[in-house]
Amino acid sequence: MSLKLGDVVPNFTQASSMGEINFYDWAGDSWVVLFSHPADYTPVCTTELGEVARLRSEFEKRNVKTLALSVDSVESHLGWIKDIEEVNNVKVDYPILADEDKKVSELYDMIHPNSLNNLTVRTVFIIDPQKKLRLTLTYPASTGRNFAEILRVIDSLQLTDNYSVATPVNWQDGQECVIVPSINDEEAKEKFPKGFNTVKPYLRLTPQPNK
């Protein structure tokens, strides 16, 4: 199954380091970052799982739950978590799915045979409260993921879901936004009382509406 942006992601029930998880029930009304790992006790992933634990408060204030996945067993995960906590000086207080049967990996198309044989590639899925897929990022095994970028994308998605704006290149929370082209200038004057700067007829910049 190849998931596309805007698709409703499939539900699943799978064992994890924190007990059995029914994904839809566990996610509830939260956003979710689901991120996969090729195997336990891998060096790059050890640093990533620690970073996600360190960023717990940043995810929580955005109403985001984090969920990792690896194709090893719960027992293996519990041993690996001890290493992650020691190396990164954190508490891993979010679940790691134990996808031994590769059920979730296949549902979410995480097996790329030309890259990692039958192991999962390192993909990030951002899923909204309606269970729709909003972003995917797939990394090679050798490159650590940038979770500051993942938080930035979540900020953009949550902003643009609620206001008639898009976010320009390298945008950070608090910076100017782009007024979407479907809003004409007259409507823009009403919607954006802080005003806007017309760079080109199709490129109008306005202060971030919720700041």
Positions marked catalytic: 45
Residue 93 · residue 81 · CB < 8 Å: no
Q: How far is CA 37 from CA 24, 28, 122, 158, 193, in A?
A: 21, 24, 5, 26, 46
Tell me how far apart the alpha carbons of residues 84 and 77 are, in angstroms, rounded to a whole number. Answer: 10
